[in-house]
Amino acid sequence: MQRWLERVARLVGQDVGLDLSRCRTSTLADVLTALAKALGLAGPDQVLDAAQGPHRRWIVERLISALLVHETFFYRYRAQLEELSDRVFPAILAARPSVFRIWSAGCATGPEPYSLAMIAVDVVQRLGVPTVVQVLGTDLAAEAIDVAKKAIYPGSATMDMPVAWREQFFEKEEAGWFRVKDSVRRLVRFDVHNLAHRPPTGPFHVITCRNVLMYLQQDAQHKAVGALASVLAKDGVLAVGHGESLRGFENLLVPDRGSAVNLYRLAKGIAMASEAMASEAMASEAMASEATPSELMSLGEKPLAPPLSAPVSRAKPPKNTHTIVLKGVYDEQANPQGVASLKAALADAVAGGLSVIIEADGALSLDGATARLILRAMRTCPMPMVVHATRDSVKQWARRYGVPLG
């Protein structure tokens, strides 16, 4: 058992910066045995050997699911959420942002981001502010994210919520279970994300990272806090867990004045940099997502194809390489056919075991669904897959959604 602990500690430490001494390890032997059975291996040692090969990511994700406590409930840390509802959200919304963005980092099975969305809806309705609420929930564990997307919870998970909210935001299911209403679900998006990696594109007005940093090694903590600060809006707030502190990170974040519930704001110099970055991001995003073909021409970028054309392959692709040329609009809402056509082209290339080059400059519009489609294909493609782009608007889209460019 001890040798397994040591090997697992190295594995999760290297990949996600997890401090195994802070995790539950009592069931580790059972978890490794179950993984061995799933992989058709002899036992735990063989599982850990396999983690040095192509199964590494799959194994690490399942170890994380077993080592961390993913069970949570709605309206957890009530005092902090009430502070957000009564003071923080109204102050931010007083500036009437067109989009009110929230990131719940380490969201487990989803009650936290849904709670934040409910609070945002309540405050927006109370103040009558015309804004769009967007909540992002991320977690290391893919299995936890799958549960979050289903949005079905036992009644016990809702007991700490205001009674009126249970009626307003939930639908009753069978056997005492509750489902989050679509009016809230459509405000929340979920992704698997490692805090040690590049953060989602900001800025976010509110970020919650509660009971997450405590599980990380010191180096991983520094990376995570730096990442969180880098995408926090200049007037934004970072909320950490009840037993956590950001002491030692005063160069980045300082305690929110008058708050006793672990809220932090950007240090002065960092806030100024955040404001400049936010302005640049909004300007680039406007070019990428809102410009019409005629507006692109006025900026000196000639549209390369009609706006709703499908991806096509080059006439003579290099040997063993499949080139996909994006042309037109790739937006799940505005042009689902274009996204479906790209999905089919990627599936054919992956199935054929070919290297893939995606020429993206011809795309007039690209959305998050297209980015996720390409990223999934990159993970499953047995051969190299590269996206090429030279236009600023396309490069901004790639940066926003973490699509690597070659």
* Residue 39: predicted pLDDT: 84
More confident residue, 394 or 271: 394
Q: Residue 108: what are its φ and ψ, rounded to 5°? A: 55, -130
Yes or no: say if 107 and 139 are a contact pair by the CB < 8 Å rule.
Answer: yes
pLDDT mean across residues, the chain: 82
> Confidence class of residue 305 from pLDDT cuts 50, 70 and 90?
very low
Contact 77, 66 (CB under 8 A): no
Q: How far is CA 193 from the centre of its chain?
A: 5
User: Residue 272 — very low, low, confident or very high, per pLDDT cuts 50/70/90?
Assistant: low
| Structure token digits, residue 329 | 């609009």
- Whether 192 shows a pLDDT value over 60: the answer reads yes
User: Taking residues 286-303, what's their average pLDDT?
Assistant: 33
Task: Report the pLDDT averaged over residues 289-310.
Answer: 33
The pLDDT value recorded for residue 286 is: 41
Looking at the chain, the whole-number percentage of residues with pLDDT higher than 70 is 85
Give the model's confidence band at 370: pLDDT under 50 very low, under 70 low, under 90 confident, else very high: very high
- How many residues does the structure list for the chain? 406
Query: What is the C-alpha to C-alpha distance for residues 31 and 25, in angstroms, rounded to an integer?
Result: 10
The whole-number pLDDT of residue 313 equals 41
Instruction: Judge contact between 266 and 324, C-beta under 8 A.
Output: no
pLDDT for residue 284 is more than 50: no
Higher-confidence residue of 320 and 135: namely: 135
pLDDT at 281 > cutoff 70: no
In which band, very low, low, confident or very high, does the pLDDT at 70 lie, cut at 50, 70 and 90?
low
pLDDT band at 270 (very low <50, low <70, confident <90, very high): low
Banded pLDDT at 322 (limits 50, 70, 90): confident
Question: Is the model's pLDDT at 34 over the cut of 90?
Answer: no
| Pick from 37, 99, 83: nearest CA to 62 | 37
Dihedral angle at the C-alpha atoms of 404, 145, 211, 368, nearest 10 degrees? 30
Q: For the chain, which domains are there?
A: 2-67 (no CATH), 78-278 (3.40.50.150), 312-401 (3.30.750.24)
Task: Please write the tens of the pLDDT for every residue from 162-185.
Answer: 889 988 999 999 888 999 999 999
Query: For residue 379, what pLDDT is reported?
Result: 81
Least confident of 46-60, 93-107, 248-262, 278-292: 278-292
pTM summary value: 0.65
118, 85 in Cβ contact below 8 A?
no
According to the model, what pLDDT value does residue 48 have?
87
